[in-house]
Structure 1
């Protein structure tokens, strides 16, 4: 079975899009990761939701989890303000995430190995036409697991 056969349409955002809009897309569609494309709609990054959440937390909460345990959630009230006016590119973690990408003819084993190696909940599927790349869709970990263990 090829990537083309198991890829599904997957919502994406551009590096220039509003960060709050991107966060709402992630939440409303219950996505495991944000698929980010550049201004030419070329895959730019796949960032797991957990890493994006980390971008919203105060630095001390990440540096000292026991301290975060004794503080209440009032410290999260400024999250919307923290994101206001940011683009997706500005919101993304400084650490650039490798974008796992396969062509439409990639096999399940190749996709699974790439997903595992990249620690990514999805792999982008792209079709190359000369020097242009078009996003076909994505293979999610859930879809791949379904294929590997024989689900519906």
Structure 2
């Protein structure tokens, strides 16, 4: 079994898409992470949903969650407004969320190690050829766990 065998299609957004549309896709499809591709269709970022939420909340609350109680519910409706006018690249900069990438021949243990090291719930599987880089799909944590559980039987 190799990464190409474990890879599945995964919804994605582009760097130029509106951040609010990306947030709606993440929420509407209950995705564990946002897969962002650049204009050439190459992986740009993979951002766990928890980190996207972190980008929305005030920094002082992210640093000290006990302050959230004092803030109450009054700011909850404003959080989505922070996305207005932002592109996905501005909301989820590559410098913070470089995508975990593997080649098609990577063994499952390599994919698992990469996902563990990067704290990512998925890894992009790419193939390089004379025409460039092509996204084959992603390996999700759920798919990898399914494989390991089946291999144990």
TM-score when scaled to structure 2? 0.91
Query: 1-side partners of 2:127 and 2:138: how far apart?
Result: 12
Report the counterpart of residue 24 of structure 2 in structure 1: 24
Query: 2-side partners of 1:93 and 1:78: how far apart?
Result: 22
Q: Which segment drifts farther, 67-76 or 44-53?
A: 67-76
Report the counterpart of residue 127 of structure 1 in structure 2: 127
Deviation at 1:59, TM superposition (A): 2.2
8 Å CA contact 1:98, 1:118 repeated in 2: no
Report the counterpart of residue 75 of structure 2 in structure 1: 75
Closer, same or farther: CA 136–94 of 1 in aligned 2, 3 Å:
closer
Query: 2-side partners of 1:62 and 1:82: how far apart?
Result: 15
Query: 2-side partners of 1:149 and 1:123: how far apart?
Result: 19
User: What are the Cα deviations for residues 68-109 of structure 1, in whole angstroms up to 9, with x where unaligned?
Assistant: 123322211112321111100111158522311111121111
8 Å CA contact 1:51, 1:93 repeated in 2: no
Q: Secondary structure at the match of 1:50?
A: helix
8 Å CA contact 2:17, 2:88 repeated in 1: yes
8 Å CA contact 1:115, 1:121 repeated in 2: yes
Q: Which segment drifts farther, 126-135 or 38-47?
A: 126-135
5+ residue gaps, structure 1:
none
Q: Secondary structure at the match of 1:73?
A: coil
The aligned runs of 1:7-86 (5 Å cut-off) are 7-86=7-86
TM-score when scaled to structure 1? 0.92
The list of structure 1 runs, each at least 4 consecutive aligned residues, that deviate by more than 3 angstroms after superposition, is: none
5+ residue gaps, structure 2:
none
Aligned residues: 151
